[in-house]
């Protein structure tokens, strides 16, 4: 099975805490033997995939397959055209790693406020950008925006491949098993896909069954 989960802020992408009091995936009632495909940092939110199938992790994360990941980042300051150009061009030096070219645009999304809220500074505005990457180094989005002068305050992964979180209708903390068509959207960028094969549009069907984790409990690598 392949599961899509809307990961809340403050959740470790693992089932066992490293320290007492940490929140993990264990509180959300997933089926046995599933594991996360890739990671999202504790302070990041959004689309996380889990599966009990062998081989999916390497298939999804192998850079040769070029699976895109789309993020919405709320940054400190009003993002400039020059900063967006630098993000798009690539070549940013992140401690020895040079970033690849990517898609980067300014956006005005309608995301609900985060709980807890982001850091607020009355004299400094914030703005949102959308980034689509085909690589996933440790904390890459945060390091990229900081490198062009706009630190990330909030980070939400909204898409993997052609699967968009918005089409799933999941609230924070909810999960659902993906249909065959939705699975195909996740892996639509596989290198072995015929170059002439048309890309499928995102499914708008929503599952009638949603799963919400236990909210009574208190309370790593994103791109």
Q: Which among 41, 62, 218, 222 is annotated as catalytic? A: 41
What tokens were used for 43?
């302070």
Q: What are the start-end ranges of the H helices in 67-190?
A: 81-89, 140-147, 165-168, 180-186
Tokens 């992790």, residue located: 57
Q: By C-alpha distance, which of 110, 41, 42 is closest to 74?
A: 110
* Nearest-angstrom CA–CA distance, 182 and 194: 19
In sequence order, which residues have a C-beta less than 8 Å from that of residue 38 and are 6 or more positions away?
48, 49, 57, 60, 61, 136, 221
62 assigned to active site? no
List active site positions.
41
């Amino acid at each position: 099975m392949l599961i899509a989960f809307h990961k809340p802020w403050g959740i470790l992408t693992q089932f066992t805490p490293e320290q007492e009091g940490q929140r993990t995936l264990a509180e959300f009632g997933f089926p046995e033997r599933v594991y996360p495909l890739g990671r999202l940092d504790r302070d990041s939110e959004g689309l996380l995939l889990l599966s009990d199938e062998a081989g999916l992790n390497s298939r999804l994360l192998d850079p040769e397959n070029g699976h895109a990941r789309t993020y919405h980042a709320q940054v400190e300051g009003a993002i400039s055209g020059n900063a967006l150009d630098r993000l798009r061009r690539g070549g940013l030096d992140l401690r020895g790693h040079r970033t690849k070219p990517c898609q980067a645009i300014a956006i005005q999304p309608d995301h609900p406020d985060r709980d807890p809220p982001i850091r607020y500074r009355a004299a400094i505005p914030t703005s949102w950008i959308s980034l689509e990457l085909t690589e996933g180094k440790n904390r890459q989005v945060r390091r990229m925006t900081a490198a062009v002068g706009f630190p990330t305050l909030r980070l939400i992964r909204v898409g993997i491949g052609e699967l968009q979180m918005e089409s799933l209708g999941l609230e924070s903390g909810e999960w659902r098993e993906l249909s065959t068509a939705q699975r195909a959207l996740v892996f639509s960028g596989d290198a072995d896909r015929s170059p002439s094969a048309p890309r499928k549009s995102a499914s708008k069907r929503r599952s009638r069954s949603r799963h919400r984790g236990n909210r009574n409990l208190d309370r790593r690598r994103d791109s």
